[in-house]
A and B are shown apart, each in its own frame.
Chain A
Amino acid sequence: MTDAVRNVLAVISVDDVLQKHGVNNSVDAAVMLDADCMGTFAANVSGYLAPLPPASVSSVTSAKWVLWRATSLTFNAKYHCLITGVSVEDTANCFVSQPVMQWIDRPTPLVTLVETAVQPEIRTQTETVWAAEIKGAGNVKYEMSVKVLDHHGNLQGYYRLQSTLAVN
């Protein structure tokens, strides 16, 4: 169980991206998105993640992490935004290493139907995030590579976005 996490969320308006850039099939020429079709947000959260940190990391307790996620403005019903890489320009030496892909078990609210009654419950669902362990405070610039699929699983393009993050 980690004691502090900084969640970073990139929200992409995929319809606007496709209207502006069309489908970009080249992973080597991923289109850089500008601020009029995406937004990035960050917030602190504490004490819910398992199995972070991974066994390969020595600081099993009290580690602090930054997690990166990406989503479509319309959520998964229309597009999936899959992060294929996150790189940080870590001149302030904030991270132990560059971000890597991690699997976490996230408590997720689900609504189930018991006979005729709707009942909310919490189950853990496995989620893929990109994560980096924090070793110090500072500001970092990061770049996220995103692959967009439609809800049929068909490729809608490769894109990149850049933003900055204040690490507490």
Chain B
Amino acid sequence: MSQDNADGTNIVNVLTVADISSFVDKLSSTSETSPLLVDKGIYMLAEPQYVKSGLASNALVLNVTAEGEDSSTFVRFRELCLQMGHYQCEIIGITIDPSESADVEAPALHAVTYTELVRDPNNLMPDAFNHQPNVNDIFWEMEMENSGVVNYSLNFMVADLTTATKPSVVGYFVVKSSLNIGDPQD
């Protein structure tokens, strides 16, 4: 788990790794409102307890410490496609099931800028980097003020990067999973 030293809040990073090739043939008939429900080829990873699973339906059990009355836990969702350079997958929405979930803020898209280290193509030395400022770090984030279970759906869009100068949409899929944010005393 990452600790934000500025205000003492907890940040949990969740990464979804998608093997698009295992279900890409089923994406052509999907739409944003009718995505493919995927339960294989999806790997969920999270801090602080590193969890790997081939089944997205497995819950990510995160025993997150929420110290202090005013502290919150911010869960950040990012995504990565194993077919880098061919397909790109992007989270386009996160839906919380309110009937079976603890009280959480609606997840929202955030972008913060940072200075990227970019390799110098004219210098092959391993430590030769140029500093590229103002690169976007884009992630979805939801805030939890209390412990509890959150059942959620991650909605993805898949784009093909090889077809033209602009990404072309291949289709849409959805992954259902859950988080269990526990009290430190438990």
Q: A7-B84, A48-B85, A76-B117 are in contact. Are A43 and B137 (CB under 8 A)?
A: no
Give A103 to B84 CA distance when docked, in angstroms.
15
Encoded as 1 (CB less than 8 Å from any A CB) or 0, chain B from 101 to 134 comes to 0000000000010111101010000100101000
Contact assessment for A43 and B45 in the assembled complex, using a CB-CB cutoff below 8 Å? no
Check: A151 CB closer than 8 A to any chain B CB. Answer: yes
Encoded as 1 (CB less than 8 Å from any A CB) or 0, chain B from 80 to 99 comes to 10111111100000000000
Contact assessment for B13 and A73 in the assembled complex, using a CB-CB cutoff below 8 Å? yes
Residues in chain A near residue B50, CB distance under 8 A:
13, 16, 35-39
Q: A45-B85, A45-B86 are in contact. Are A103 and B13 (CB under 8 A)?
A: no
Check: B61 CB closer than 8 A to any chain A CB. Answer: no
Check: A82 CB closer than 8 A to any chain B CB. Answer: yes
Give A166 to B186 CA distance when docked, in angstroms.
41
Residues in chain A near residue B121, CB distance under 8 A:
103, 126
Report the minimum CB–CB distance from A76 to chain B (whole Å): 6
Residues in chain B near residue A149, CB distance under 8 A:
117
Contact assessment for A122 and B1 in the assembled complex, using a CB-CB cutoff below 8 Å? no
Residues in chain A near residue B166, CB distance under 8 A:
119-122
Residues in chain B near residue A104, CB distance under 8 A:
85
Check: A107 CB closer than 8 A to any chain B CB. Answer: yes
Report the minimum CB–CB distance from B71 to chain A (whole Å): 18
Give A35 to B49 CA distance when docked, in angstroms.
11
Report the minimum CB–CB distance from A125 to chain B (whole Å): 9
Encoded as 1 (CB less than 8 Å from any A CB) or 0, chain B from 146 to 181 comes to 000000000000010110111100000000000000
Contact assessment for B86 and A73 in the assembled complex, using a CB-CB cutoff below 8 Å? no
Classify chain B: how many residues form its interface, as a range: 35 or more
Interface SS of A by simple majority: strand
Contact assessment for B86 and A47 in the assembled complex, using a CB-CB cutoff below 8 Å? yes
Of B84, B86, B162, B166, the most chain A CB neighbours within 10 A belong to B84
Q: Look across to chain B and name the residue whose beta carbon is closest to the beta carbon of A19.
A: B48
Q: How many residues of A contact B (CB 8 A)?
A: 49
Residues in chain B near residue A111, CB distance under 8 A:
136
Report the minimum CB–CB distance from A113 to chain B (whole Å): 11
Which residue in A43, A74, A147 is a CB contact (below 8 Å) of B2?
A74
Encoded as 1 (CB less than 8 Å from any B CB) or 0, chain A from 7 to 27 comes to 101010101100000000000
Q: A11-B15, A77-B112 are in contact. Are A107 and B43 (CB under 8 A)?
A: no
Contact assessment for A122 and B126 in the assembled complex, using a CB-CB cutoff below 8 Å? no
Residues in chain A near residue B49, CB distance under 8 A:
36
Residues in chain A near residue B40, CB distance under 8 A:
none
Encoded as 1 (CB less than 8 Å from any B CB) or 0, chain A from 79 to 104 comes to 01010100000000000000000011
Residues in chain A near residue B13, CB distance under 8 A:
13, 73-74
Check: B143 CB closer than 8 A to any chain A CB. Answer: no
Check: B47 CB closer than 8 A to any chain A CB. Answer: yes
Residues in chain B near residue A45, CB distance under 8 A:
21, 82-87
Known: A39-B50, A41-B43, A151-B116. 4 other contacts (CB 8 A): A9-B82, A39-B45, A107-B161, A126-B121
